[in-house]
Amino acid sequence: MTADTSRTSLLRSLPSVDGVLGNPDVRSDSVQLDRDVLTQLVRQRIDGVRRRILHGEPIEHVEDAVVRDVIASIAQLNRPRLIEVINATGVIVHTNLGRAPVSEEAAEAMARVASRYSPLELEIETGKRGGRMSEISQMLRLLTGADASLVVNNNAAAVMLALSALCAGNEVILSRSQAVEIGGGFRIPDVLAQSGARLVEVGTTNRTYVRDYEAAITDQTGALLTVHWSNFRIVGFTKQPLHSELAELARSRSLPLIEDLGSGSLLETTPWGLSHEPTVTESIKSGVDVVCFSGDKLLGGPQAGIISGRKDLIEQISAHPLARAVRADKTALAGIAETLRHYIRGDALERVPVWRMISADGEFLRLRCEEWRSQIYPNDDVRVVETRAAIGGGSLPGETLPSWGLSIATANPDRLARTLRTGVPAIMPHIEDDRLILDARTVLPGQETGLIAGVNAALQ
Is 143 in the same domain as 188?
yes
349-380 pLDDT tens trace: 999 999 999 999 999 999 999 999 999 988 78
Is 274 in the same domain as 415?
no
Number of domains in the chain: 3
Percentage, residues of the chain above pLDDT 90: 77
What would the 3-class secondary structure string for 304-351 be? CEEEEECHHHHHHHHCCHHHHHHECCHHHHHHHHHHHHHHHHCCHHHH
- Is the residue at 112 inside a domain? no
In terms of residues, how long is the chain? 460
Backbone angles phi, psi at 362, to 5 degrees: -60, -40
Is 90 in the same domain as 63?
no
- Is the residue at 206 inside a domain? yes
Percentage, residues of the chain above pLDDT 70: 97
- Is the residue at 117 inside a domain? no
- Is the residue at 318 inside a domain? yes
Select from 31, 49, 78 the last residue of a domain: 78
Q: Which domain holds residue 290?
A: 134-328
CA 417 to chain CA mean position, Å: 23
Is 259 in the same domain as 189?
yes
Mean per-residue pLDDT for 176-184?
78
Is 172 in the same domain as 276?
yes
Least confidently predicted of 154-163, 301-310, 393-402 = 393-402
Is 396 in the same domain as 270?
no
438: domain CATH number is: 3.90.1150.180
Q: pTM for this one?
A: 0.89
207: domain CATH number is: 3.40.640.10
- Which amino acid, residue 204? T
- Is the residue at 337 inside a domain? no
Contact indicator for 126, 426 with CB cutoff of 8 Å: no
Determine the pLDDT at residue 377: 86
- Is the residue at 340 inside a domain? no
CA 3 to CA 159: how far, in whole Å? Answer: 59
SS3 content of the chain, % helix, strand, coil (to 5): 45, 20, 35
Select from 44, 78, 112 the last residue of a domain: 78
Is 298 in the same domain as 412?
no
Is 311 in the same domain as 400?
no
221-275 pLDDT tens trace: 999 999 998 666 767 787 889 999 999 999 999 999 999 998 889 999 999 999 8
